[in-house]
């Protein structure tokens, strides 16, 4: 296909809104021209590139008792590589429209060797799965998924995400022209192909062909989109320095999103859903409200608008009044009620609604119910609850069961995650050797079980050790002072404090300078003798710690904590610790030294990572390995707490519920714990 090059775009915060682009050729042949380069008039997109995206796309088809012939035509228009997901709210019972939709789909899939999903929006098992997943907002008082196209669309989103799709596109099933359906999907794929961000929305502008339709309806639709665009553009203009008319698709029913974006938006129930999607993007990522997710803000959100060549012809409701009542007023309402809407835009909207509806001055614009981002729902639980129905909702029946492992969260085996302390656990308490644990570590790596270091050691020290052991997983430094997550490790974005070249950093503890400052005050108050790694030379650190010179240097590179070396007797030590606490600092005993920090928390760090793994992998089962007191919060935050022996062949006495006491010291105990506990369980 060939599409116009972008001529115009508006930026708001990290959102880029592209001006409408026209399709120039539906088929651009097989010869590669000189196109595709920036600066040229047009851009050619290869068939293969389009197909690759279609393979990752679900097309959600909401249907409510449409003409079977029209429905069949729509199916035929959906490109072969996409996964159709039909969400029906059609009549059932004596005259069973849903049953005939199922039959049509079955015949279609059989003849074309395709797979599809079909559900009825009012099926109790769907409602139950959504409720268990923690998204009760779309249920009605009777516990069913509410009637309505937007609730149907959200149901489709859950299913598409469960199937591990990257993109979701919506197509109405009352479309008379299969070629138009086909073209919409191509536009979606082109939009995703052209976008430079993983967070993309593609919206389609189509022109009615008025002659074939009721004149009245045509005019009204034109008016609805004109007015919604106008007010949304006014909303935008108040945010920038220039007036803009960039948005032409404020009501576009035909649109698509990357799933990662779709999961993060606030939705409106009813026909304002498409306008609200734009509002939600602008609010969250346009810098209008506090940034919800920094990763997205960094990568940016692309809103791409394209115009189709095929005419748009669809089934008309007899009652064309609904366009004003159900679409225009609610669409204006979501703009009006946005927290980011300026008074001048509100004024304009009030007047507009007063003109159409006769809204009285003292009345406020009626509010539309908003739904929270689906992101908050637990997809694994959704999938788990649906497990028994997968057979029925997949056409041909059973294919989803056969491909179960591709379905997010339905595989019975939970992902295992291992957290481990280093000093005295993976590393021998006396010799610092990890040799006895090496075989077990390799076994974990072969099975792709993450091994997360969680220790008092610094970023510099752990980086060295991770390189030696070829461990590539996230790690927790300085007793929970910060979590480092390799970039591109998790598929889904998350909030972090800062980034270095290779890692995102989630900081939990105060910075070193702050801690140092407070320790100075402790020293000045004179409770007893002590010194810190910060005040010692590398040689001195090596001497007291038994580390070699290089490791001693890395141990000195502290960012979130300070190591305190006590120099007095027991009583002196106690009063120093007391003074440390009085300064608002906290300390843990690491066996020989005291690690002093502020806000650092191994347990909290483990819980954050648990959450990230759960979000990305669905169900997880966690193991923690430790040896001493300062591992208690780590061990309390995992499913299976494994305690190895200290140098004296005894176990530390920890305040953790039922730790599993593993025979053997440090790395030997580690090895035994991995083979007897982590690898043994299914």
Q: Which residues are catalytic?
A: 421
Q: What whole-number distance in Å separates Cα of residue 633 and Cα of residue 629?
A: 9
- Give the DSSP letter of residue 326: I
My answer on whether omega of the bond before 230 falls inside 30° of 0, hence cis, is no
Of 253, 89, 263, 76, the closest CA to residue 159 belongs to 263
The footprint of ligand GDP on residues 296-315 (CB under 6 A) is: 314
Q: Report residue 111 as tokens.
A: 């003849």
Burial profile 121-133: b = 16 or more Cβ within 10 angstroms, e = fewer: bbbeebbbbbbbb
Number of DSSP helices (H) and strands (E) in the chain, helices first:
25, 28
Q: Which stretch binds ligand GDP (CB under 6 A): 144-152, 349-357, 364-372, 436-444?
A: 144-152
Helix axes 68-77, 97-112, angle to 10 degrees: 30
Q: Which stretch binds ligand GDP (CB under 6 A): 142-150, 202-210, 444-452, 586-594?
A: 142-150
In the complex, least distance from residue 64 CB atom to ligand GDP, rounded to whole angstroms: 4
The smaller minimum CB distance to Co ion, of residues 175 and 197, is found at 175
**536 half-sphere exposure, CB direction, 13 A CA radius:** 25
Under the criterion CB under 6 A, does residue 330 sit at the interface with ligand GDP? no
CB-nearest residue to ligand GDP: 152
The smaller minimum CB distance to ligand GDP, of residues 386 and 579, is found at 386
- Applying CB under 6 A, which of residues 50, 58, 63, 510 lies at the interface with ligand GDP? 63
Under the criterion CB under 5 A, does residue 16 sit at the interface with Co ion? no
- Applying CB under 6 A, which of residues 147, 442, 582, 663 lies at the interface with ligand GDP? 147
Q: What whole-number distance in Å separates Cα of residue 618 and Cα of residue 384?
A: 10
In the complex, least distance from residue 630 CB atom to ligand GDP, rounded to whole angstroms: 54
Q: What whole-number distance in Å separates Cα of residue 67 and Cα of residue 174?
A: 8
Q: Which among ligand GDP, Co ion, none contacts residue 147 (Cβ within 5 to 8 A by kind)?
A: ligand GDP
- Yes or no: say if 151 and 269 are a contact pair by the CB < 8 Å rule: yes
Q: Which among ligand GDP, Co ion, none contacts residue 123 (Cβ within 5 to 8 A by kind)?
A: none
In the complex, least distance from residue 65 CB atom to Co ion, rounded to whole angstroms: 12
Strand pairing class (167-170; 57-63): parallel
In the complex, least distance from residue 170 CB atom to Co ion, rounded to whole angstroms: 12
- Applying CB under 6 A, which of residues 253, 409, 493, 603 lies at the interface with ligand GDP? 253
Q: Which stretch binds ligand GDP (CB under 6 A): 33-41, 60-68, 225-233, 282-290?
A: 60-68
In the complex, least distance from residue 53 CB atom to ligand GDP, rounded to whole angstroms: 23
Q: How many residues does the chain have?
A: 682
With the C-alpha atoms ordered 235, 238, 241, 244, is the resulting torsion angle positive or negative?
positive
Coil, helix or strand for 3? strand
With the C-alpha atoms ordered 353, 358, 361, 364, is the resulting torsion angle positive or negative?
negative
Q: What whole-number distance in Å separates Cα of residue 428 and Cα of residue 434?
A: 6
The smaller minimum CB distance to ligand GDP, of residues 148 and 528, is found at 148
Q: Which stretch binds ligand GDP (CB under 6 A): 61-69, 423-431, 452-460, 661-669?
A: 61-69
Q: Which among ligand GDP, Co ion, none contacts residue 308 (Cβ within 5 to 8 A by kind)?
A: none
Q: What whole-number distance in Å separates Cα of residue 250 and Cα of residue 268?
A: 14
The footprint of ligand GDP on residues 85-104 (CB under 6 A) is: 87-89
The footprint of ligand GDP on residues 636-655 (CB under 6 A) is: none
Q: Which among ligand GDP, Co ion, none contacts residue 671 (Cβ within 5 to 8 A by kind)?
A: none
Q: Report residue 65 as tokens.
A: 């008792």
Under the criterion CB under 5 A, does residue 174 sit at the interface with Co ion? yes
Q: Which among ligand GDP, Co ion, none contacts residue 62 (Cβ within 5 to 8 A by kind)?
A: ligand GDP
Of 336, 410, 386, 403, the closest CA to residue 366 belongs to 336
- Yes or no: say if 190 and 3 are a contact pair by the CB < 8 Å rule: yes
Strand pairing class (451-454; 475-477): parallel
Beta bridge partners of 302: 16, 200
Of 410, 353, 31, the closest CA to residue 224 belongs to 353
The smaller minimum CB distance to ligand GDP, of residues 89 and 102, is found at 89
Q: Which among Co ion, ligand GDP, none contacts residue 384 (Cβ within 5 to 8 A by kind)?
A: none
Q: How many residues bind ligand GDP (CB under 6 A)?
A: 18
The smaller minimum CB distance to ligand GDP, of residues 64 and 187, is found at 64
x/- string (CB under 5 A) for Co ion, residues 296-325?
A: ------------------x-----------
Q: Which among ligand GDP, Co ion, none contacts residue 66 (Cβ within 5 to 8 A by kind)?
A: ligand GDP
Q: Which among ligand GDP, Co ion, none contacts residue 63 (Cβ within 5 to 8 A by kind)?
A: ligand GDP
Strand pairing class (660-665; 640-645): parallel
The footprint of ligand GDP on residues 434-473 (CB under 6 A) is: none
Q: How many residues bind Co ion (CB under 5 A)?
A: 2
- Applying CB under 6 A, which of residues 14, 121, 561, 622 lies at the interface with ligand GDP? 121
In the complex, least distance from residue 205 CB atom to ligand GDP, rounded to whole angstroms: 15
In the complex, least distance from residue 270 CB atom to ligand GDP, rounded to whole angstroms: 10
- Yes or no: say if 622 and 638 are a contact pair by the CB < 8 Å rule: yes
In the complex, least distance from residue 316 CB atom to ligand GDP, rounded to whole angstroms: 7
Q: Where are the beta strands (DSSP E) in 47-155?
A: 57-63, 83-88, 116-120
Which residue is it, tokens 């004109």? 226
Of 182, 159, 674, the closest CA to residue 443 belongs to 674
- Give the DSSP letter of residue 146: P
The smaller minimum CB distance to ligand GDP, of residues 46 and 316, is found at 316
Q: What is the 3-state secondary structure (H, E, C) of 188-254?
A: HHHHHHHCCCCEEEEEEECCECHHHCCHHHHHHHHHHHHHHHHHHHHHHHCCCCCCCCCCCCCCCCC
Which residue is it, tokens 């789909």? 105
In the complex, least distance from residue 288 CB atom to Co ion, rounded to whole angstroms: 32
Q: Which among ligand GDP, Co ion, none contacts residue 606 (Cβ within 5 to 8 A by kind)?
A: none
In the complex, least distance from residue 315 CB atom to Co ion, rounded to whole angstroms: 5
Q: Which helix (H) or strand (E) holds 4?
A: strand 2-4
- Applying CB under 6 A, which of residues 21, 149, 220, 415 lies at the interface with ligand GDP? 149
Q: What whole-number distance in Å separates Cα of residue 116 and Cα of residue 59?
A: 10
The smaller minimum CB distance to ligand GDP, of residues 173 and 671, is found at 173
The smaller minimum CB distance to Co ion, of residues 314 and 556, is found at 314
Of 510, 492, 446, the closest CA to residue 611 belongs to 492
- Applying CB under 6 A, which of residues 13, 77, 84, 148 lies at the interface with ligand GDP? 148
The footprint of ligand GDP on residues 165-184 (CB under 6 A) is: 172-174
Of 498, 417, 433, the closest CA to residue 469 belongs to 433
Q: Which stretch binds ligand GDP (CB under 6 A): 57-65, 403-411, 537-545, 598-606?
A: 57-65
The smaller minimum CB distance to Co ion, of residues 322 and 520, is found at 322
Residues that bind Co ion (CB under 5 A): 174, 314
Residues that bind ligand GDP (CB under 6 A): 62-64, 66, 87-89, 121, 147-149, 152, 172-174, 253, 314, 317
């Amino acid at each position: 296909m060939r599409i116009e090059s972008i001529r115009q775009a508006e930026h708001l915060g990290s959102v880029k809104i592209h001006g409408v682009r026209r399709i120039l050729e539906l088929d651009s042949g097989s010869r590669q021209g000189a196109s595709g380069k920036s600066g040229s008039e047009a851009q050619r997109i290869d068939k293969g590139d389009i197909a690759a995206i279609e393979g990752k796309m679900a097309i959600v088809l909401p249907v409510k008792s449409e003409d079977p012939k029209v429905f069949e035509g729509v199916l035929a228009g959906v490109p072969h590589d996409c996964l159709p997901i039909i969400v029906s709210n059609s009549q059932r019972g004596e005259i069973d429209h849903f049953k005939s939709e199922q039959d049509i789909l079955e015949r279609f899939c059989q003849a074309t060797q395709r797979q599809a999903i079909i559900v009825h929006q009012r099926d109790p098992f769907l409602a139950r799965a959504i409720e268990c997943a923690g998204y009760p907002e779309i249920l009605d008082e009777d516990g069913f998924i509410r009637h309505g196209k937007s609730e149907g669309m959200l149901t489709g989103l859950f299913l598409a995400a469960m199937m591990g799709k990257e993109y979701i596109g919506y197509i109405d099933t009352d479309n008379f022209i299969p070629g138009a359906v086909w073209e919409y999907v191509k536009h979606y794929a082109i939009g995703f192909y052209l976008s430079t961000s993983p967070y993309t929305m593609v919206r389609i502008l189509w022109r009615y062909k008025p002659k074939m339709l009721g004149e009245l309806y045509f005019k009204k639709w034109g008016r609805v989109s004109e007015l919604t665009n106008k007010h949304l553009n006014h909303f935008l203009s108040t945010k920038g320095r220039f007036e803009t008319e960039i948005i032409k698709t404020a009501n576009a029913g035909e649109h698509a999103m990357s799933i990662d974006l779709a999961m993060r938006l606030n939705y409106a129930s009813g026909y304002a859903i498409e306008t609200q999607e734009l509002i939600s993007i602008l609010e969250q990522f346009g810098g209008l409200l506090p940034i919800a997710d920094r990763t997205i803000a960094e990568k940016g959100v692309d809103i791409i608008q394209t115009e189709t060549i095929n005419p748009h012809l669809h089934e008309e409701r007899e009652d064309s009044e609904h366009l004003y009542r159900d679409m225009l007023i609610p669409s204006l309402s979501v703009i009006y009620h946005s927290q980011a809407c300026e008074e001048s835009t509100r004024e304009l909207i009030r007047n507009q609604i007063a003109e159409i509806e006769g809204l009285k001055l003292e009345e406020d614009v009626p509010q539309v119910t908003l739904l929270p981002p689906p992101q908050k729902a637990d997809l694994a639980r959704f999938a788990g609850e649906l497990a028994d129905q997968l057979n029925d909702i997949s056409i041909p029946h059973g294919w989803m069961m056969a491909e179960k492992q591709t379905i997010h969260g339905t595989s019975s085996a939970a992902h295992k995650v291992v957290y481990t302390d280093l000093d005295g656990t993976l590393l021998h308490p006396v010799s610092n050797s990890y040799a006895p644990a090496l075989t077990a570590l390799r076994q974990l790596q072969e099975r792709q079980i993450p091994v997360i270091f969680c220790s008092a050691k610094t970023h510099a020290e752990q980086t060295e050790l991770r390189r030696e052991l070829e461990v590539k997983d996230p790690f927790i430094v300085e007793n929970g002072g910060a979590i480092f997550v390799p970039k591109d490790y998790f598929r889904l974005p998350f909030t972090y404090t800062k980034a270095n070249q290779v890692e995102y950093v989630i900081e939990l503890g105060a910075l070193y300078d702050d801690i140092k400052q407070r320790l100075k005050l402790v020293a000045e108050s004179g409770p007893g003798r002590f010194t810190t790694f910060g005040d010692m030379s590398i040689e001195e650190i090596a001497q007291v710690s038994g580390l070699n010179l290089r490791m001693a240097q890395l141990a000195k590179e502290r960012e979130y904590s300070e190591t305190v070396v006590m120099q007095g007797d027991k009583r002196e030590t106690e009063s120093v610790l007391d003074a440390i606490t009085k300064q608002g600092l906290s300390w843990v005993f690491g066996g020989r030294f005291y690690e002093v920090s502020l806000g650092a928390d191994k347990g909290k760090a483990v819980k954050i990572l648990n959450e990230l793994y759960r979000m990305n992998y669905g169900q997880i089962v966690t193991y923690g390995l430790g040896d001493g007191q300062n591992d208690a919060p780590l061990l309390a935050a995992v499913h299976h707490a494994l305690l190895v022996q200290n140098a004296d062949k005894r176990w530390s006495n920890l305040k953790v519920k039922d730790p599993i006491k593993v025979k053997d010291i440090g790395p030997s105990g580690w090895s035994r714990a991995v083979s007897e506990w982590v690898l043994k369980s299914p």
